[in-house]
Amino acid sequence: MELHGKNFLGAKISAEGQTCFAAINPSLNQELAPQFIEASPAEIDQAMALAETAFQIYRQQPAEKIAQFLEAMAEEILQLGDTLVQRAHAETALPEARLLGERARTIGQLKMFAALVRDGSWTEACIDRAIPDRKPLPKPDLRRKLIPLGPVVVFGASNFPFAFSVAGGDTASALAAGNPVVVKAHPAHPGTSELVAGAVLRAAKSAGMPDGVFSMVHGKSNEVSLQLVRHHAAKAVGFTGSLQGGRALFNAAAARPEPIPVYAEMGSTNPIFILPSALAKNGSSIAEGLVQSVTMGVGQFCTNPGLVFGKCGPKFDAFVENAARITGSVVAGTMLTSSISARFRQRAQAFQEISGVSVAGQSSRALETQSPAYIFSTDAKTFLGQSPLHEEMFGPSTLVVGCDSDAELEAVAANLAGQLTATIFAAEDDLNNHRQLISLLEQKVGRLLFNSFPTGVEVCPSMQHGGPYPASTDARSTSVGTFAIKRFARPVCYQNFPDAALPLELQNKNARNIWRLVDNQLTKADCQ
């Protein structure tokens, strides 16, 4: 399947821009054909205008048609076969086995949201029937449900070319809620993005969706991203990436005449706390699991454990030595892009220049394009006094921090910024003795783990992938799981409307057989 490097403005292929760029094979540091054309301001306006027009049609589509559209997307992506996986491998250096798993996750997400749309209960239909003879005032008939927001701008992430990209979770949840989507392809994998965008548009055509329900534009410049967010037709933004990038989009959205929500998943160090009994019983296996988690995917997961805390002593020293030894045998890996690799090396060097921080362990670095893994170590006093140590280092590294007391463990927890995850390795007696620590961590994270590592995010209704700032811009939302659909919907209440004029989900007859809250009782029964 030959790539053309152009933008998708609905069903139209367009190449009006003047700026071109190429994907780079990070393993070979070589350009990949073709040249990709950055969208012009006029093309961005066309894409957003198409989405604005499509919204009025798409939002009225029956649930079954939207579900079929999502399933058709899954099938079209699968039909790309090896072509998609091989292009993604060339653009990201991610192993083909990893990409096959991620493709399966992406297809599973689309089917999960299709099932959610069919079920319909996500709309949170709520009915309070009128009581006309209530004294002293009659009670009106009130009915509320969630409706779609409007066109959503989605930004692809560098580290998940399928699952957090063109047809990833943000796109799937936005489309499932009834919103058109305009995707800004990630310039690190533009060919992969083009292949998936073509699959989405073929699915839209086969499902009878309106033109403009999906568009995708290319761009390396910040101005492309900002123009999309500032466009009057945009009603929400989905983003996964750096704190700097997410905050820039958030600020731009907040400064609009009509501010819009930006659901940005950004930086996280995902701290691990190893309590004494767990360290004594399982220190060796925890050290092995830690290194595996830190180096998985060359450390390029948003849930990479970048901080480890434990109480000082012989057991903790042995744990650090063991982790360092295992790290020394890790094979260096190629990172997603040369710029990501350069930033990682700069941050690693900066860590080594901080007084009180040492390199406990390091893997060999075989090639210029590859990055070694690091285990850094320090004490709680140094950690608390050096703010750079609190920031995410995107790559295969972690900082192990020794604490002298339970009070220091609680102090470092209290001083953490918002996180996607925190992990506690403990035995039951540890948990009983560290209730305050657990309470502190609950206030800092979106997901709290017990005796397991945070890398690996299950896609299911109960998953929470988000957390207090700077982990995300809205700790109440998630970018993984069915609850993600709520980001792109808002409630509307209908008062004293005739039954026939109400949305299907709020009519007296429960034609969709969904769960509804009727007079404060959850039921699937019809209203009498």
Report the distance separating Cα 209 and Cα 66, nearest Å: 8
Looking at every residue in the chain, the average pLDDT score rounds to 97
Place of tokens 């930086």: 267
Averaged pLDDT for residues 450-459: 96
Contact 112, 174 (CB under 8 A): no
What's at 125, amino acid-wise?
A
Confidence of residue 55 (pLDDT cuts 50, 70, 90): very high
pLDDT at 316: 97
Average pLDDT in the 363-383 region? 90
At the topology level, CATH places domain 272-450 in Aldehyde Dehydrogenase; Chain A, domain 2 (3.40.309)
Residue 53 binned pLDDT confidence (cut-offs 50, 70, 90): very high
Range list for CATH 3.40.605.10 in the chain = 7-19+39-112+151-266+478-486
Contact by Cβ (8 Å): 54, 91: no
* Secondary structure percentages of the chain, helix, strand, coil, to 5: 40, 20, 40
Which of 43, 265, 408, 505 is the catalytic position?
A: 265
Q: Is 233 left (phi over 0), alpha (psi -120 to 50) or beta?
A: alpha
- 392 labelled catalytic: no
Element (H, E) at 217: strand 214-217
Question: Which of 356-370, 458-472, 480-494 bottoms out in mean pLDDT, i.e. has the lowest?
Answer: 356-370
Q: What is the pLDDT of residue 20?
A: 95
Beta partners for residue 398, in sequence order: 375
Token digits for 398?
């972690």
State residue 428's pLDDT score. Answer: 84
State the pLDDT at residue 366: 67
pLDDT grade for 528, boundaries at 50, 70 and 90: confident
69 three-class SS: helix
Boundaries of CATH 3.40.309.10 in the chain? 272-450
Q: Are 469 and 417 in contact (CB under 8 A)?
A: yes
Amino acid identity of 7?
N
| Per-residue model confidence as pLDDT tens digits over 129-146 | 999 999 999 999 999 999
> In percent, how much of the chain has pLDDT > 70?
100
3-state secondary structure of 465: coil
Q: Phi first, then psi: what are they for 144, rounded to 5°?
A: -130, 145
pLDDT of amino acid 369: 75
Asked if the model's pLDDT at residue 473 lies above 70, the reply is: yes
Name the CATH superfamily, with its identifier, for domain 7-19+39-112+151-266+478-486: Aldehyde Dehydrogenase; Chain A, domain 1 (3.40.605.10)
Among 43, 102, 194, 302, the active-site one is 302
Strands in 479-519 per DSSP E: 489-495, 516-518
pLDDT class of 368 with cuts at 50, 70, 90 = confident
**What DSSP string runs through 100-143?**
HHHHHHHHHHHHHHHHHHHH-GGG--EEE--BTT-SSSPBPPEE
- Concerning whether 493 is annotated as a catalytic residue, the answer is no
Residue 111 has pLDDT above 80, yes or no: yes
Distance of CA 383 to the CA centre of its chain: 28
Q: What is the pLDDT of residues 384-440, one digit of tens each?
A: 999 999 999 999 999 999 999 999 999 999 999 999 999 999 998 888 889 999 999
The angle formed by the CA atoms of residues 159, 164 and 167, to the nearest 5 degrees, is 135
511 burial via Cβ count (<10 Å: 0-12, 13-18, 19+): exposed
Average pLDDT estimate for 163-192: 98
Q: How far is CA 479 from CA 174, 200, 464, in A?
A: 11, 20, 8
What value does the mean pLDDT take over residues 243-251?
97
Inter-axis angle of helices 96-119 and 63-79, nearest 10:
170
Residue range 342-356: average pLDDT?
A: 95
pLDDT at 367: 76
The answer to whether 192 touches 157, Cβ cutoff 8 Å, is no
pLDDT for the residue 340: 95
What average pLDDT score do residues 38-66 get? 98
Rounded to an integer, the average pLDDT of 83-100 is 98
Pull the structure tokens for residue 152.
């959503």
Q: Average the pLDDT over each of 187-196, 230-239, 363-372 and give the range with the smallest value.
A: 363-372
**Residue 488 and residue 472: Cα distance in Å, rounded?**
16
